[in-house]
Every structure is written in structure tokens, then in C-alpha cells.
Amino acid sequence: MNKSFSVALLIGLSLVSSCAQKSSKNDYVVTIKTSYGDMVAILYDETPKHKANFIKLAKEHYFDSLLFHRVIAGFMIQGGDPDSKRAVPGQPLGQGGPGYTVDAEFNPKYFHEKGALSAARLGDQQNPTKASSGSQFYIVQGTIVPQSDIEDLKIDQMKFNTAFRQVMMNASNKPLIDSLNQVYMAGDMLAYKKMLFGLVPRIEKQTGMTVTKYVSPEKIKAYTTVGGAPHLDGDYTVFGKVIKGLEVIDKIAAAPTAAERPTNDIRMFVTVEEMSKSKITKLYGYVFPVEIKK
């Protein structure tokens, strides 16, 4: 995501837990108001630190009047930088925060489908633990993954690249590499990808590395229907989801930009409201996962 993002201080997050306490029959609804319309989101219990932090900031009106300062069509819309509140036109943004980070809370259940509410963060070199910004977040627009690219979702790209480099360095594999290069130079990318994926068993056998990963049917369905940004999965914390107002994401993502900042300021006003889960389902159609009692 935003590799240039930084926060002023990297200190531990200490929150008053009561801000996120609720009846098991209730939950919180977040409303992000903009001039393009409203987005309504739910926050996940499985990312408790992010949920508590977002609720705390919203109740303090921290986000009010801040900008969606970074917008990339087909990818995401980002906001939450306190420096954006009084930013002049053309002012670079993306460096501000509340002075702390939030520990990463990766959960394979939640991924970067369209509408995913996720935390921005510093890049890996400066931030090896992948800790989240204390306030900056992004909402995914993404793109729809074609059926022909489904196999891409099942490859751990970093592991594959590492293993493939080992295979390329093995002199006995030169005829294979030459064949791959010929297909690549011919410009037939579908044939090249098919050939590359066909090598996975051989690559795993030669290197002893597992380069494939399990992808749930739910994730495949989401990415091939509503779309998203699967390359971000496992690197940035997804802590919520827009359950109403997906079209607002599209409108904001389509706004004219200069250096990824909208040329006309797009401000947000964020509120949070506790209500019964049954009411949330009735109003927004969001169905909560069934709680398993131990």
C-alpha cells in the first residue's frame, strides 16, 4: 500500500477497552459521510485493537473534516491523515498520524475484497512487524479478477519467486528456462502463465519449498465477482467492511487527481453508533457469522 506513509512516533497503543465493549447482541456501525454520499461499515471483532482504536477516534471526532488524500482508480481510496484537515492545494500528504501504531492483526477470514476497510502502514523496511498506522486507513475498490487468473490467487508470489530463482540457477534446467523465454518473447502471456504454473510441482520438488497456498471458495467468489486487491492480502490488516455505499467508493475513485490527491478536496465525517445486530441486518442486509459457544 502506501510505502511513503509514516507516523511521528512508534509507541505502544493503549486504549480504554470500554470504548469497544458491547452486548453480544449489539455491535457498532460506522458511517463515513462525504459529498459523494455515505458509506456504512462494520468492524470485525477478530481485529479488536483496530476496532477499539477506530471507535475511539470516531467518538473523539478525530476523522471529521479530514480528506481522502490518496485516490487510485481501480485500487483504493485512503484517508485519516490529520495533516489533511487544513492542507492547502498541492500540499503533500500521507505522513501524519496520532503518534502511535497498532499491532498487525492479520486474519485469513478477512481479505481485500471490494469495500474492505483496512489499515495503512509504513513499508516493510521501516516496519518489519507490519504495524498499522494509528489513524490512516483505506477502502478497497480494486478490480475483478478474470477466471483465467484464478490460479494466480493460489500462488504465494514471494515464495514462488524465491524458489524459481533457485531453479533458474540450476544448470540442468537451462533447456526449460530457454523454452520459457521463447514463449515469453513471443508475447503469448496466457501460454507463458500456463507453462509457468505447470512447473509448480517440479519447482516444489527441486527446492523443497511449498509455493502454493489455500484459497477459500468464498475468497475466489468475491475476487471474481465484486473484485478487490488480492496482492495486499496478508500484508495489511483488514479490520472492517463497507456494507452499504459501495457505489460511493467508485465515485470517489473516479474523481480527478493530481499526484494521487483529488484536485477538489473530498472530506469525511465519521460517526459510530451501537445498535442491535438484528437491526443492522434488517437495515443493511449484513449477516453476522454464527457464534460458536465453547
* Residues 49-63: tens digit of each pLDDT: 999 999 999 999 999
The reply to whether 8 falls in a domain is no
For residue 135, the domain's CATH number is 2.40.100.10
- Please tell me whether residues 121 and 87 are part of one structural domain: yes
The reply to whether 10 falls in a domain is no
- Please tell me whether residues 75 and 97 are part of one structural domain: yes
> What is the model's pLDDT at position 293?
59
- Please tell me whether residues 138 and 177 are part of one structural domain: no
Count Cβ atoms below 10 Å from residue 98 Cβ, excluding itself.
Answer: 22
The reply to whether 36 falls in a domain is yes
- Please tell me whether residues 181 and 278 are part of one structural domain: no
- Please tell me whether residues 29 and 93 are part of one structural domain: yes
Under DSSP, the state recorded for 95 is: -
Residue-wise pLDDT for 128-154, tens only, equals 999 999 999 999 999 999 988 888 888
CA dihedral sign of residues 99, 105, 106, 111: negative
- Please tell me whether residues 21 and 83 are part of one structural domain: yes
The reply to whether 175 falls in a domain is yes
Cα 26 to the center of its chain, rounded Å: 26
Cell triple for residue 67? 480528506
The reply to whether 83 falls in a domain is yes
The half-sphere exposure of 56 on its side-chain side, counting CA atoms within 13 A, is 19
Using CA atoms, how far apart are residues 135 and 128, in angstroms rounded to an integer? 19
> What is the model's pLDDT at position 129?
97
Using CA atoms, how far apart are residues 244 and 41, in angstroms rounded to an integer? 7
- Please tell me whether residues 191 and 59 are part of one structural domain: no
The reply to whether 137 falls in a domain is yes
Helix (H) or strand (E) holding 198: helix 189-198
> What is the model's pLDDT at position 291?
66
Cell triple for residue 3? 510505502
The reply to whether 187 falls in a domain is yes
- Please tell me whether residues 89 and 174 are part of one structural domain: no
Point out the residues of the chain with pLDDT beneath 70. Answer: 1-23, 291-294
The reply to whether 4 falls in a domain is no
The boundaries of the domain holding residue 183 are 155-207
Q: Quick check: 113 and 140 in contact, CB under 8 A?
A: yes
Q: Quick check: 137 and 74 in contact, CB under 8 A?
A: no
What residues contact 146, with CB distance under 8 A and at least 6 apart?
A: 224
- Please tell me whether residues 128 and 171 are part of one structural domain: no
> What is the model's pLDDT at position 23?
63
Count of domains forming the chain: 2
Using CA atoms, how far apart are residues 91 and 81, in angstroms rounded to an integer? 12
